[in-house]
Amino acid sequence: MTMYDYRFAGASLTAWAQLRHTWIAVNKVAETRLGEIGATPESIAVLWACRDFPGPLRPAEIARLVFRAPHTVAGLLKRMEKEGLVVRVPKKPGHPYTEVKLTRKGKKACAPAIEILKDVIAETMSVMSEEELEQLGKLTRPLQLKALEMLNMNLKPSPGNPEAVTMPVKVHKRSENK
The β-bridge relationship of strands 86-89 and 99-102 is: antiparallel
Instruction: Map out the domains of the chain as residue ranges.
Output: 11-164
Domain 11-164, what architecture? Orthogonal Bundle (1.10)
Measured distance CA(27)–CA(32) in Å, rounded? 9
**Percentage of residues in the chain with pLDDT exceeding 90?**
65
* Residue 164 scores a pLDDT above 80: no
Q: 66 with 45: CB under 8 angstroms?
A: yes
155: confidence class by pLDDT, cuts 50, 70, 90 = confident
Alpha helices in 53-167 (DSSP H): 59-66, 70-82, 104-125, 130-150
Q: How many CB atoms sit inside 10 A of residue 13's CB? A: 12
Binned at pLDDT 50, 70 and 90, residue 175 comes out as very low
- Quick: pLDDT tens for 21-59: 999 999 999 999 999 999 999 999 999 888 888 878 899
Overall pTM surpassing 0.85 (yes/no)? no
Average pLDDT rounded to a whole number, residues 92-106: 85
CA atoms of 109 and 85, how far apart (whole Å): 8
